[in-house]
Structure 1
Amino acid sequence: MITPDIAIRDVLIGYRSRPRVASRFGYRSGGGSIHHYLTTLHARLYGPAAAPGPLPSDLDELRLWALTAGEHAQEAVLAHLATQLPRVAQLLQHARTEPSWPGPDHAWMRDADGALRHLADQIHHLSPAFALPPAPTARTAPPTAVLGPDPAPQDVTRALADFFSPDVAPDDVLLNFRPHPRTGERFTAREAPATAFGSLLHARLHGPDTAASAQQAPSEGQNRPPRATAAQQTAALVRLSGQLHSAGDILTWAQHWSHWRQLPRGVHAQLGRTATTVRELANGTGQIPAPTHHALAAQPTVVPPVVLSPAAPRR
């Protein structure tokens, strides 16, 4: 709805009523991160989800998978995240092949690579804390999806309007899709009645041609040539920053579950520290300036990351 170039993690949804009916609904509005609305919309249009397949290697997809999964998925998600972080860090190795990076940026990428691998080890040792006893035999069979006929455009429109109220006319609901503030001004928000977005979404889901370019998985980076262009290396860093933002969201999700499941306080605190470090790495990666072959010394550089150490601090 915004642009094919934006990641789902960076899309926010909002809704409000037209002024002509606002008084009937208390002038209320709402919204938030889009993944909760996607989950509700999918269940409304297509019924309960089928049994999940293998966990995705792309951390954006793993984030969405985790946020819609139940308590039995936490150990598997964290263990999978620990295996994927070193693969994601390979994007740094490809970027470092460019010799024109300023010295501090090159050193930052080297240290960030080590920090990511250390974080992966920490997450790997944390994941067993989320293990649950096996479910009873009678409940081991996963539910199968019971799919009805494909929804019509008016069904999609009605489902979108219901995010505001089941009693409102769809044309009186204004939906907006806006980018997360961390994307800066690279994307433009879109607002329209639910009827317009309902028709667009139905065409996107059930039109004759809905092919979209899939994002390259981190492991596919191994097939790149040893020396990529500066533009490719910059794109790799942008992708890495996004992947790390998703990793931070996964760790925060696990941290919340550790609270509700009353796991040891040390698990909760360590997940919080790990999520903070991952987000700092994501922000630092996104601030590395594009490499050029002139005036490099005058460009700003990012603050080097702190390479974590399992050793206790000195007193």
Structure 2
Amino acid sequence: MITPDIAIRDVLIGYRTRPRVASHFGHRSGGGPIHHYLATLHPQLYGPTADHGPPPTDLDELRLWALTHAGEHQQKAALDRLAAQLPHTTQLLKPPLHEPSLPAPTRAWLQDADRSIRQLASQIHRVSPAFATPHALPEHTSPTTAAPGPDPAPQDITRALADFISPDIAPDDVLLSFRPHPRTGGRFTTREATATAFGSLLHARLHGLEAAAAARPEAWEELNRSPHTAAGQQAAALVRLSNQLHSAGDILTWAQHWSHWHRLPRDIHTQLGSAATTVRELADGISKIPAAPGAALAATPALVPPAAPSPAPPRR
């Protein structure tokens, strides 16, 4: 759909919400190499395969891996990977902290955020062993969604694309963009369209219709590829960190839901919810810094070290 001679590894994909609904979905955005999104989309449409490999290290990808691949015995692996990777995300704080023009209050807030992220990792590490204990799910009950049939309709593809942002968002409010990897030297023009448009085009291709553009749901919109570059390394690093932390919040909420289905002790559910709230507050605070580096920020939430989970959660 882009150009027949481009390698998949040289295509980057981006997701964002339309401005009219952005506030309802936490101004969510994301993106990365398209091959991962395709690998995630395929089992959504055709059902999962037997082996999905180890959890990815990137938190955006880990979020997708958890939501689409992780079965009932893989929550601990996802949380362990999250705990291991969170401290590495603080490397993204180095560019802004080394910026001489950064206001002192903002610098202090970011230093507190660094410590809080590391405390979060420790908290998650203490909670994750609870998911290793044998447990049984209630019969005929599952928190996951049944896999679609073998022949997805355009609306199935559209819905799967929109779900990368949220299961509650309308597909027309999800904007997808394709852009070239920097190593390609800009071999094609960055393009953007709604999930609805891409759903129709992908359906046409999946069914072997060469005239995929016949659907023509809407014209391509040219993207301005310079905002992050113009904002500088400081803004780009903080935007990246904010997105990573939002993904961490989604992973923690996902684990919190599983803790309910696994009937784990109530304190595990509470700790996961508290950690999800904290990491999202950090993400929201960090996201405000590039736009207004001199703005006053609320104090970083203090984290209370959790109690070690029971090695044998009681059945309820």
TM-score (norm 1): 0.59
- Name 1:130's counterpart in structure 2: 131
Residue 67 of structure 1: CA displacement? Answer: 0.8
Q: Report the Cα offset of residue 49 of structure 1.
A: 1.6
Q: Alpha-carbon deviation of 1:304?
A: 2.4
The residue number in structure 1 matching 2:23 is none
Q: Which residue of 2 aligns with 1:255?
A: 256
In 2, are the aligned partners of 1:111 and 1:307 still within 8 Å (CA)? Answer: no
- Distance, in Å, in 1 between the alignment partners of 2:193 and 2:201 is 17
Deviation at 1:6, TM superposition (A): 2.6
Distance 1:247 1:190 in 2: 24
Q: Distance in 2 between matches of 1:189 and 1:160?
A: 13
1:1-315 aligned at under 5 Å gives the runs 4=12, 6-7=14-15, 10=16, 42-43=42-43, 48-68=48-68, 69-133=70-134, 158-162=152-156, 176=172, 178-179=174-175, 189=194, 191-192=196-197, 195-199=200-204, 231-289=232-290, 299-310=294-305
SS in 2 for 1:71: coil
Does the residue aligned with 2:98 lie in a helix, a strand or coil?
A: coil
- In 1, the alpha carbon distance for the partners of 2:113 and 2:271 equals 19
Q: 1:71 to 1:39 in 2, by over 3 A?
A: farther
User: What's the offset of the Cα at 1:41?
Assistant: 5.5
**SS of match in other structure, 1:6:** strand
Instruction: Show structure 2 runs of 5+ residues with no match.
Output: 2-10, 19-28, 31-36, 137-149, 159-169, 177-191, 209-229, 308-316
Does structure 2 conserve the Cα–Cα contact (< 8 Å) formed by 1:284 and 1:302? yes
Q: Which moved more, 1:39-48 or 1:61-70?
A: 39-48
Q: Secondary structure at the match of 2:153?
A: helix
Deviation at 1:99, TM superposition (A): 1.3
Distance in 2 between residues matched to 1:85 and 1:256, nearest whole Å: 21
**Aligned-pair CA distance for 1:232:** 1.0
Deviations 1:163-194 (A, max 9, x none): 79xxxxxxxxx9636159xxxxxx87464495
Superposition RMSD in Å? 4.1
| Alignment partners' CA distance in 1, 2:306 and 2:267 | 16
Aligned length: 222
Within 2, Cα distance between the matches of 1:63 and 1:286? 19
Q: Distance in 2 between matches of 1:189 and 1:113?
A: 36
Larger radius of gyration between Structure 1 and Structure 2: 1
In 1, distance between residues paired with 2:201 and 2:231?
41
Flag the 1:50–1:114 CA change in 2: closer, same or farther, 3 A.
Answer: same
TM-score (normalised: structure 2) = 0.59
How far apart are residue 38 of structure 1 and its match? 7.9
* Cα distance, 1:61 vs structure 2: 0.4
The answer to whether the 8 A contact 1:175-1:192 is kept is no
CA contact (8 A) 1:114 1:307 kept: no
1:118-137 Cα shifts (integer Å, max 9, x gaps): 110000000000004499xx
Indicate if the aligned counterparts of 1:258 and 1:268 stay in contact, CA closer than 8 A.
yes
Cα offset, 1:5, TM superposition: 5.8
Tell me if the contact between 1:41 and 1:160 (Cα under 8 Å) persists in the aligned partners: no
Q: In 2, Cα distance between the equivalents of 1:231 and 1:60?
A: 22
**Structure 1, 193-202 or 272-281: larger mean CA deviation:** 193-202
1:178 partner amino acid: V
Unpaired runs of at least 5, structure 1 = 13-32, 136-150, 165-173, 181-186, 204-228
Instruction: Give aligned-pair identity as a percent.
Output: 55
Tell me what 1:212 maps to.
none
Q: Distance in 2 between matches of 1:254 and 1:60?
A: 15
Going from structure 1 to structure 2, the CA distance change for 1:247 and 1:96 (only over 3 Å counts) comes to same
Q: Is the partner of 1:56 in helix, strand or coil?
A: coil
Paired with 1:189 and 1:271, the residues of 2 have a C-alpha distance of 34
Whole-angstrom distance in 2 between the partners of 1:161 and 1:230:
37
Q: Residue 301 and residue 5 in structure 1: after superposition, are their counterparts in 2 closer, same or farther (change >3 A)? A: farther
